Amino acid sequence: MFAFVPGDVPYYRIPLLEDTGLVQAVFTTRLGGVSPAPYASLNLSWNRGDDPSHTQANYLRICQALGWDPQQVAQCHAVHGTQVLEASEADTGRILAPDHSPAREGDGFMTHRKGLILRQTFADCVPIFLLDPAYPAIAMLHAGWRGTVAGMAAQGVRALVQRYGSRPENILAAIGPSIHSCCFAIREDVAGPLERAFPGEGLVRQEKDGRLYGDLQRCNFLYLRAQGVLPHHIVSSGLCTACHTETFFSHRAEQGRCGTMAGMITLI
Ligand SMILES: [Zn+2]
């Protein structure tokens, strides 16, 4: 499970990963920031229309709460693909730069370097955190429905295997808050690919209202399993962003007018 940490800037931590003593792994909420509606209040995105000075102030707040150097946050721009980049110094320092936008495009970051903070942003899409405690190495992945059915979770595991020689049976994984099957109403254009990813696994179901609902968190779980990650090494938050707009931003529930949270992980 994910553990809620109350305070001036609340967040969720991930005990499965943090109890190794190797990482800090967190998922932020919409609480504790300075942005006004509809970005209230801890918006961590530069490109949703919020004042950049607010986003910057929000990063400084969450980094201070976590004891992190904001200059060490590596950012890339998610494009709903499955590319996993190895983060470097060139990806950091954007938060305090005049132009805050991430330099590179990609939906996944990995590193073996201590202190480098991997970040992806979310407002319904699925956050996936990976830790190979043996190397050690980490990855932070962003999977919307396209990335989910394209196997972003599996791609992240493969990237750790190829770059760091990680063994899938050692990898610990966490699937964070996202729009869940209770709220993710879909049409055939999404239901078809989702069902075909793992036929017979119930990733799409029809409710009494006649509509189809998709389970992205479980699809990512199945991709991790298919890649050799052990079931007891995978934790899912089970949290639905659309059900809990008091705590989370939800692109779907708020008709696109909202900020974003961040999933962040760093080797310590
Ligand atoms: Zn829901």
Question: Structurally, how many domains does the chain consist of?
Answer: 1
Q: Using alpha carbons, select from 219, 176, 240 the residue that is nearest to residue 28.
A: 176
Cα–Cα separations (whole angstroms), residue 88 to 59, 69, 101, 127, 268: 19, 15, 16, 21, 16
CA of 164 to the centre of ligand 1 (A): 37
pLDDT digits (tens, 9 = 90+) for 175-214: 999 999 999 999 999 999 999 999 999 999 999 989 999 9
pLDDT digits (tens, 9 = 90+) for 45-95: 999 999 999 999 999 999 999 999 999 999 998 898 999 999 999 999 999
CATH code, 224: 3.60.140.10
CA of 85 to the centre of ligand 1 (A): 31
Q: In what order do the strands lie in the sheet with 11-13?
A: 3-5, 11-13, 23-28, 261-267, 117-122, 73-75
CA of 179 to the centre of ligand 1 (A): 6
Domain range holding 131?
3-267
CA of 240 to the centre of ligand 1 (A): 5
Its pTM stands at 0.98
What pLDDT is attached to residue 103?
80
pLDDT digits (tens, 9 = 90+) for 3-49: 999 999 999 999 999 999 999 999 999 999 999 999 999 999 999 99
Structure tokens at 241: 């962003």
CA of 155 to the centre of ligand 1 (A): 27
CA of 51 to the centre of ligand 1 (A): 29
Q: Which residues surround ligand 1, an ion (CB under 5 A)?
A: 180, 182-183, 240, 242-243
pLDDT digits (tens, 9 = 90+) for 110-165: 999 999 999 999 999 999 999 999 999 999 999 999 999 999 999 999 999 999 99
Residue 10 three-state SS: coil
| Whole-angstrom distance, CA of residue 126 vs CA of residue 250 | 12
CA of 219 to the centre of ligand 1 (A): 16
pLDDT digits (tens, 9 = 90+) for 206-229: 999 899 999 999 999 999 999 999
CA of 190 to the centre of ligand 1 (A): 17
